[in-house]
Structure 1
Amino acid sequence: MISSISSIHAFSPCFFRDPRFRLPESRLTASNSTLQSHSKHNNCFSNILPGRCSFNFTIRKVNDVNNRRMTSVVAAGPIFFPEYPIAGDVCAMAFSGCFALSILKVYEETARKGIFDQKLNRKLVHTTIGLAFMLCWPLFSSGHQGAFMAALIPGINIVKVLLVGLGILKDEAAVKSMSRDGDYRELIKGPLYYASTIALSSVIYWRTSPIAIAAICNLCAGDGLADIIGRRFGTKKIPYNKDKSFAGSIAMATAGFIVSVGYMHYFSMFGYVEESWQMIWGFLAVSIASALVESHPISTTFDDNLMVPLTSFLVLVGVRI
């Protein structure tokens, strides 16, 4: 037995594939004290096996798993005043709100001065605001309190959009930056769906769910880039919808997928999600499906700001990431 074991080199692929050297899954969820116990016994194995470093590799791998789990526990509090979660979330909400508002004010100023075409200015707002807001999610505490406090920011914007869209509040800069044709009544459609998607993603799914990542990234980056690229390079139109182009749909699927993977990596650094190939393939499926739905005439009828997030939800629920 000893001779057969020693015949397998520590660094050979056979060593990791051989079931005699594979730790059971229950061992991977063992406590750190158990891992230390295995580490002590490692010296005994080294007298028999030439592959002592392979056991060290296994121990390090299990420690990495436990460290990631510990990171998610440590990251439970808000960044500001972690000892006082409510005060910390209020500070996070103030910072996030000011950050998003400053970006919006910049685009309102560019719209007022006519620096960009109105449709381009609108899509720049569409692309950046939601993604910038999602960057601030790690500032909040985990759980319902942090999610609710974060959702108040797009919630306030929902109230503003409703007031302006119904004609109760006059805000020409907001109308120019968020409408297609300068009609204030447009705000109770696309912009309202946009803000509602971000608010609901925060409250219901929050930063631990790939559904929130996919819905916001495909709505913001995907749909935003589809219009920008499609208007400039979309000479080849899609047969079933002459208002959409192949260039725009390809740009939407590509941008939505890349940004989704980027935010997956971003949130994994804080321990909110665990990166996996299954999640990456799920994001790819969502981005392709969202691009197909956005290119269909049904999105023009019901507004793509509603159809794209709905598609993201249905696809990810179907693949069960």
Structure 2
Amino acid sequence: MWASLGGIAVAMGSPRMGLRQLGCSSLKEIRGGDGFRRKRKKRAGVMCNGGWDNLGVLRDGGAAVAVALGAFAFVRVVDVVARRLSLEQVYLSFRQKVSRKVVHILSGVLFMSSWPIFSSATEARVFASLIPLLNGILLVIYGFSLAKNEGLVKSVSRGGKAEELLRGPLYYVFVLMFCVLVFWRDSPTGIISLSMMSGGDGFADIMGRKYGKAKLPYNNQKSWVGSICMLTSGFSLSMGMLFYFSSLGYLQLEWDQVATKVALIALAATVVESLPITDFIDDNISVPLCCILVASLLFGFHTH
């Protein structure tokens, strides 16, 4: 499903193509003082004939439904694969450690990758935000044990307890929703923040648990290997996602400057993630918050 969504994104998500097909007003190129150019669509929704027409509503509504179904299917597939690949004892360990981080990493990446499926309407981000909102509601329901879903609990919680859904996983989907509504797909700040939270922090945990014998001198819960993976994977994913949105026309970046800025953001996020503060603030809050602050300083605070 995700592959199909990606194909639709290339066909429908390009701002250039959408404008030509719909006959809307031209792109307005804006150069900021932050070293990159952005092409902003001078449109309010699909307003070619006096308003955000039914086609735009159907496209964004259909995209929201498709991505939501894809997200649920993805979590289900991870759970089923874990069951079939492992014996019971190994399976429990796999689900509670590795599968949790697989969901953590790919949920953010696949969700961002689906954004071009939505129309260029201003309201499109609202439809996209419904997906993490729905997931947040489900986490609250299962977290308070108002309903039971053992597979979900085992796949996304650290210790297999329902109440854990109300912490890290819930913060995660709220950050997704915040970045969609505030930054969306034509701001590097939101893209980098989600990339560092999902990919950087996710790979740091996986590799740190497996190879992280050498601990940091100021935090024996974190390792050098984990921090190095946080820095490199977060930087790589951020650059990859920026290239993805740039190739579709949402961003035009001065890559020599962007690489340096992304490296500084990744370094700052890595330092914050390594601090012994997880008892006070979850990584799913501290990492994206750090990225938003540093990226806003380096790129400027741009919202659309």
TM-score normalised to structure 2 length = 0.77
Answering whether residue 156 of structure 2 is matched by residue 185 of structure 1, we say no
- Structure 2 CA distance for aligned equivalents of residues 301 and 71 of structure 1: 39
SS in structure 2 of the partner of residue 297 of structure 1: coil
SS in structure 2 of the partner of residue 167 of structure 1: coil
Letter of the 1:204 counterpart: V
Q: Which residue of 2 aligns with 1:105?
A: 76
Q: Which residue of 2 aligns with 1:155?
A: 133
- Runs of 4+ with deviation above 3 angstroms: 68-74, 110-115
Q: Which residue of 2 aligns with 1:91?
A: 62
Q: Which residue of 1 aligns with 2:276?
A: 297
SS in structure 2 of the partner of residue 272 of structure 1: coil
Equivalences for residues 32-71 of structure 1 within 5 A: none
SS in structure 1 of the partner of residue 66 of structure 2: helix
Letter of the 2:292 counterpart: F
SS in structure 1 of the partner of residue 221 of structure 2: strand
- Structure 1 CA distance for aligned equivalents of residues 188 and 159 of structure 2: 34
Change (3 A) 1:94 1:117: closer
Tell me the percent identity.
37
Retained in 2: the 8 A contact 1:215–1:309?
A: yes
- Structure 1 CA distance for aligned equivalents of residues 38 and 283 of structure 2: 38
Deviation at 1:318, TM superposition (A): 1.9
Structure 2: runs of 5+ lacking an equivalent: 1-30, 32-36, 47-52
Structure 1: runs of 5+ lacking an equivalent: 1-64
Give the counterpart of 2:261 among 238, 259, 282: 282
Change (3 A) 1:193 1:71: closer
Q: Which residue of 2 aligns with 1:316?
A: 295
Give the counterpart of 2:239 among 251, 258, 261: 261
- Structure 2 CA distance for aligned equivalents of residues 287 and 301 of structure 1: 22
SS in structure 2 of the partner of residue 174 of structure 1: helix
| Range that drifts further, 173-182 or 115-124 | 115-124
Equivalences for residues 205-220 of structure 1 within 5 A: 205-220=183-198
SS in structure 1 of the partner of residue 119 of structure 2: coil
Retained in 2: the 8 A contact 1:249–1:291?
A: yes
| Range that drifts further, 150-159 or 103-112 | 103-112
| Range that drifts further, 172-181 or 105-114 | 105-114
Greater strand share, structure number: 2
- Structure 2 CA distance for aligned equivalents of residues 300 and 266 of structure 1: 35
1:233-278 CA-partner distances (Å, limit 9, x unpaired):
1111100000100110010111111111111111011211112233
Retained in 1: the 8 A contact 2:38–2:251?
A: no
SS in structure 2 of the partner of residue 299 of structure 1: coil
Equivalences for residues 233-272 of structure 1 within 5 A: 233-272=211-250
SS in structure 2 of the partner of residue 244 of structure 1: strand
- Structure 2 CA distance for aligned equivalents of residues 238 and 71 of structure 1: 44
- Structure 2 CA distance for aligned equivalents of residues 241 and 198 of structure 1: 28
SS in structure 2 of the partner of residue 150 of structure 1: helix
Letter of the 2:187 counterpart: S
Structure number, greater radius of gyration: 1
Higher relative contact order (CA 8 A, sep 6+): 2
Greater helix share, structure number: 1
Matched positions, count? 254
Deviation at 1:120, TM superposition (A): 0.9
Retained in 2: the 8 A contact 1:109–1:173?
A: no
Change (3 A) 1:71 1:241: closer
Q: Please give the root-mean-square deviation of Cα atoms over the aligned residues, in Å.
A: 2.6
Letter of the 2:166 counterpart: I
1:83-133 CA-partner distances (Å, limit 9, x unpaired):
811111112112211222221111232455554242111111101111111
- Structure 1 CA distance for aligned equivalents of residues 96 and 81 of structure 2: 9
Retained in 1: the 8 A contact 2:38–2:250?
A: no
- Structure 2 CA distance for aligned equivalents of residues 155 and 299 of structure 1: 24
TM-score normalised to structure 1 length = 0.73
Q: Which residue of 2 aligns with 1:37?
A: none
Retained in 2: the 8 A contact 1:112–1:173?
A: no
